Amino acid sequence: MKSYASNTRTVRNLETFHRHGWRILVSPQNPNPPAGLPFAIDNGAWPTFTQKLPFDSDGFSNLVETHGAAADFVVVPDIVAGGLRSLEFSLSWLDRLQGIRLLLLPVQDGMTAGDVGPVLRRYPGLGIFLGGSTEWKLQTMYGWGMVAHAIGCYYHVGRVNSRRRIRLAHEAGADSIDGTSGTRYSVNVPKLDDASRQPSLLRPSAVGNALSLGHASGDLRPGFDREV
């Protein structure tokens, strides 16, 4: 499982990320990727949501135009905790972003596999980005991992900042995660990195599942919730 840290210019942090194979997540708020590290592009919806600001469409578009071709993936614009409004907003961007090597569709509070499945079928190669409120994210993380495994798409979990959440994301079959913890406290990176590499027999690919998009219910929980 790959780990992405929020963008930074601190030499100590960058050296630590390089040593442990971590990557950088850039955004319209901090758009210039540091040299020598792989990076991905976030749409910046979370900080604008927390600051009660409008989505920075121009900043995101400029970032994709400048660095999109080199990015590991690009997160399609969304509305935090916006449910189907978020899905409609993301759909309005998808055609404009075609040509990027990997686009990730954010899933938000209230969305179901039945809502997202048709979009994933319409855009082959599109992956899943688990956003949303913290409670909803924890309740549905494993279920979205089952969806991703069932259709064979990329799966990323956002805002993962503790060893326990890293383990939960790993068990849910996430291909990658991101967070701010490594940037704020680079001394913790070795411990966080170790948690991301621990083998797990609970991953959907190990457990196997009979989930199909046509029969997915609104509740994506696999029968249990895990709080952190």
| Beta-carbon count within 10 A of 199 CB | 7
**What pLDDT, on the 0 to 100 scale, is given for residue 194?**
72
Reported as a pLDDT band with limits 50, 70 and 90, residue 198 is low
- As a dihedral over the C-alpha atoms of residue 14, residue 195, residue 49, residue 83, rounded to 10 degrees, the angle is 140
Q: 99: burial class by Cβ within 10 Å (0-12, 13-18, 19+)?
A: exposed
- The model's pTM: 0.86
CB contact at 8 A, 44 and 28:
yes
169-187 pLDDT tens trace: 999 999 999 998 777 756 6
Report the alpha-carbon distance of residue 52 to residue 71 in Å, rounded. Answer: 27
Q: Which domains does the chain have, with CATH numbers?
A: 2-215 (3.20.20.105)
Mean pLDDT of 83-108: 96
